[in-house]
Structure formats: C-alpha cells, structure tokens
Structure 1
Amino acid sequence: MSIGGLLEELLIDGILYAFQEQTSDDANVMLNGFGAVVNALGQRVKTYLPQICGTIKWRLNNKSAKVRQQAADLISRIAVS
C-alpha cells in the first residue's frame, strides 16, 4: 500500500509539530514514532529533510539540555534514512 504526496506532507508536518510540542514525559515514544515514520518513508523523506533538519538545528541550539538531547536522539534514529 502506498500513500500519496499530500498524505506524506501532512504526516511529516504532523510529526514535526508533535516533536516540537512534546513534553519530557513522552519523549521516548515521540522519538520512536518519528523514527518509524521517517524510516518507513525511506527515500521519499528526502524532500522533507530541510524542514526536519531546521527543527533539529533549532532544538540543538536550545538552552535546555533535555531539548538538545532529544534532538540528538532523533538524529540517531533517522540517520539511516
């Protein structure tokens, strides 16, 4: 089963929004979900890498060590893609 371009866009936008709005309580669940979606999309995620990298860069420059750690953990989960 394949998903269309619009659904891909909505999916990426949704996980980026959820990642940005997450609380520390659900960080591991969010990271696992984000990684699963990106890895499932495989090569198709290439189009959305600027958005994903922008979010990661913003979080890496955050004052909070937890926020920076979450960004680094996300990188480790999606680096394969």
Structure 2
Amino acid sequence: MHAINISDARKNLPHLISEIAASRNEVLITRHGRPIARLIAYEPDKSTQNKYPLRGLEFQVEGDFDEPMPDMWDAMKL
C-alpha cells in the first residue's frame, strides 16, 4: 500500500483507479500527511455471483416461440 496526497489523487484519479484495479493494491489518501481515506479495488459479493448463472449466455429458440403446444389445444377442448 502506498500513500498519495489528496490533491495528487484528484489530478490522477482515472490513472489511480486503473492501477488499483490491475494490481489489487490499496492506496492511502492523505491530507497534510494524515490518512483520510483508503482506496481499494471492488470485490463482488460471492453470494450473488451464482444467483443468475445463465445471465449473459446466448440461446436460440427453435420454431415459432408464440405458437401454443399441441396438447394445450386438446386440454382446452371440453
């Protein structure tokens, strides 16, 4: 973990964030030599990662998706 002055952090924030995301190291932000904040990489919550395992996957629908299934028509005939 290295320290950086808040004014330097403001000037270089995009670069600083890219560095933290790549290295996963923490950065201590200081004001007048005193620590005021700690900038760390985001860690996603492990419990929600598998909540939607198929999200983002591509799929293909065969035939006419809106057409009712044949046995459905039989069930509707009373």
Q: Same fold (TM over 0.5)?
A: no
How does the TM-score come out when normalised to structure 1?
Answer: 0.29
Structure number with bigger Rg: 2
| Bigger share in helix | 1
Q: Which has the higher contact order (CA 8 A, sep 6+)?
A: 1
